[in-house]
Chains A and B, each alone.
Chain A
């Protein structure tokens, strides 16, 4: 069940741009305009439509979207009152894609301030060639995207073997065929219908033999960045919970994966690289939240973590802020121990996920300290090195998952 306004009576489309939203009245007009310009400029021969997939936002998102002047027709699609979640919005988009017989669907975030018409070209064009899924590549500030850099990218890469740098980028392209595959999946968990949807889409594409490419957007992603110690709670739980859920379901695939392979790149030659805006991180707060985690979760950690990993994290606890360091290999083993405990169901899954947050804060604190003197390029190299550490931990994952020790 959904709410739909379709003033142009659109009944079919080759290409759809979907803009999921909740309370984005102040920002949604800009990506809507850019989407329309991109569709007209680069896909003028296609039958296109822009769809705002909303959660019945009370702030006037619908009016802001529908009143934005565009050459391309628009549809407002909403979940019923009370039903929230980005994943629910995207699922409505999948259904609409199938109804319209779309060849290609693009998704862009409603809070994007840096989108240009070329983003539409670069996300869309590969879908009319040989690719079924397009992930974005953009320059981000070295402190932005800490869930991506410390969890989503290294885990999807090391588990499924495909290097997709922004697996939860929020801006994607996928074929109509893949939309049908998405819709047929049975694993629409409470996390997937919220912020787990992005990593779910990426990993589902990886596990279904879909040709994936990464497309360079040419401008940094400028949206509403958040201090990782301030407001990441629900998003963290949904993204990481979804990664753990999919690991459980796709074990026959990932147990065969060794190391990782690069992904095709699209969209070079876009000129000078633009620098992203700075992101502030409160390091002391991250450190304090990590330390506080021992008081709340020590008993559970002793049960979830292997003895050696627990010993190492106890050593990290003794480090002062000035000397603080939380090594990448320890972080990889912690995530593996948590994924295994989550899969085995020996503890309440919500408690497991909640107790991972302080450890994530500890790793993020150490990571940001390490990044401080680095350029964006050096930071990228550090992230690549961390991915190799995760890939080297794969035998540990296999041993733990299959009780081989």
Chain B
């Protein structure tokens, strides 16, 4: 079972995404803060991370850079209520960018694509 980590400071979003993604057969863990995120990823080794951008105490784009420095090959999907961050070059480091919506079909589709993504011998990219 693929493990997905949701990083979002809104309780409602974490609950909604958890329910929907568990129904899809994923093992879901969540955190409401970016504090100690790299350590959490190290411990839990998720197969994919869904990362909010505009959080009360953290900027998801900065957290993305922290994740990339340590775990280059873990797919990260930026998930924000705002589309404007697509213009920030830091967002290029994410696998996909999804604008939040009540309909999670695009998010589910991008999760599938990110988990299926494969390039032969990526040893030096780790």
Q: State the A residues within 8 Å of B (CB).
A: 130, 132, 137, 160-163, 165, 209-212, 214, 216, 253, 256-265, 268, 377, 380-381, 391
B105 at the interface (CB under 8 A from A): no
Task: Pick the residue among B75, B89, B122 that contacts A216 (CB under 8 A).
Answer: B89
Known contacts being A261-B95, A264-B68, is A256 close to B120, with CB within 8 Å? yes
Q: Which residues of A contact B92 (CB under 8 A)?
A: 137, 163, 165, 214, 262-263, 265
Known contacts being A257-B118, A262-B92, is A209 close to B124, with CB within 8 Å? yes
Contact present for A209 and B121 (CB under 8 Å): yes
Q: Which of B87, B119, B121 has the most CB of A within 10 A?
A: B119
What's the nearest-Cβ distance from chain A to residue B108, in Å?
15
Pick the interface stretch among B3-11, B21-29, B47-55, B109-117.
Answer: B109-117
| Chain B contacts with A in 16-41, Cβ cutoff 8 A | none
B94 at the interface (CB under 8 A from A): yes
27 residue pairs bridging A and B, Cβ less than 8 Å apart: A130-B124, A132-B124, A160-B119, A162-B119, A165-B92, A209-B123, A209-B124, A216-B89, A256-B119, A257-B119, A257-B120, A258-B118, A259-B113, A259-B114, A259-B116, A259-B117, A261-B75, A261-B95, A261-B122, A261-B125, A262-B92, A262-B94, A263-B92, A264-B68, A265-B89, A265-B93, A381-B86
Q: How far is the CA of A209 from the CA of B87 in the complex (A)?
A: 29
**Which 9 pairs show the lowest CB-CB distances between chains A and B?**
A259-B117, A161-B119, A377-B87, A211-B124, A258-B118, A256-B120, A209-B121, A259-B113, A265-B93
Known contacts being A210-B124, A211-B124, A377-B87, is A258 close to B117, with CB within 8 Å? yes
B72 at the interface (CB under 8 A from A): yes
Q: How far is the CA of A259 from the CA of B119 in the complex (A)?
A: 8
B90 at the interface (CB under 8 A from A): yes
Contact with A along B39-67 (1 / 0, CB 8 A): 00000000000000000000000000000
Q: How far is the CA of A262 from the CA of B86 in the complex (A)?
A: 14
Contact present for B89 and A268 (CB under 8 Å): yes
How many residues belonging to B are interface residues under a CB distance threshold of 8 Å? 24
Q: How far is the CA of A17 from the CA of B118 in the complex (A)?
A: 34
What's the nearest-Cβ distance from chain A to residue B101, in Å?
16
Q: Which residues of B contact A162 (CB under 8 A)?
A: 119
Q: How far is the CA of A99 from the CA of B117 in the complex (A)?
A: 40
Q: Which residues of A contact B90 (CB under 8 A)?
A: 265, 268
Task: Pick the residue among A210, A261, A377, A391 that contacts B119 (CB under 8 A).
Answer: A261
Q: Which residues of B contact A257 (CB under 8 A)?
A: 118-120
Not counting A257-B119, A262-B93, A262-B95, a sample of 19 additional A-B residue pairs whose C-beta atoms are within 8 angstroms of each other reads A160-B119, A161-B119, A163-B92, A211-B124, A256-B118, A256-B119, A257-B120, A258-B116, A259-B118, A261-B73, A261-B75, A261-B95, A261-B125, A264-B68, A264-B125, A377-B86, A377-B87, A380-B87, A381-B86
Q: Which residues of B contact A258 (CB under 8 A)?
A: 116-118
Q: Which residue of A lies closest to B97 (CB)?
A: A384
Q: Which residues of B contact A381 (CB under 8 A)?
A: 86
What's the nearest-Cβ distance from chain A to residue B12, in Å?
27
What's the nearest-Cβ distance from chain A to residue B16, in Å?
25
What's the nearest-Cβ distance from chain B to residue A78, in Å?
35
Q: Which residue of B lies closest to A163 (CB)?
A: B92
Q: Which residues of A contact B118 (CB under 8 A)?
A: 161, 256-259
What's the nearest-Cβ distance from chain A to residue B83, in Å?
8
Q: Which residues of B contact A261 (CB under 8 A)?
A: 73, 75, 95, 117, 119, 122, 125
Q: Which residues of B contact A263 (CB under 8 A)?
A: 92
Q: Which residues of B contact A265 (CB under 8 A)?
A: 89-90, 92-93
Q: Which residues of A contact B86 (CB under 8 A)?
A: 377, 380-381
Task: Pick the residue among B87, B94, B117, B123 that contacts A161 (CB under 8 A).
Answer: B117
Q: How far is the CA of A263 from the CA of B73 in the complex (A)?
A: 10
What's the nearest-Cβ distance from chain B to residue A215, in Å?
11
Q: Which residues of A contact B75 (CB under 8 A)?
A: 261
Q: Which residues of A contact B116 (CB under 8 A)?
A: 258-259
Q: Which residue of A lies closest to B121 (CB)?
A: A209
Q: Which residue of B lies closest to A216 (CB)?
A: B89
Q: How far is the CA of A216 from the CA of B123 in the complex (A)?
A: 24
Q: Which residue of A lies closest to B75 (CB)?
A: A261
Q: Which residues of B contact A377 (CB under 8 A)?
A: 86-87
What's the nearest-Cβ distance from chain B to residue A163, in Å?
8
Q: How far is the CA of A380 from the CA of B122 in the complex (A)?
A: 27
Q: Which residues of B contact A210 (CB under 8 A)?
A: 124
Q: How far is the CA of A208 from the CA of B90 in the complex (A)?
A: 26
Contact with A along B68-99 (1 / 0, CB 8 A): 10001101000000000011011011110000
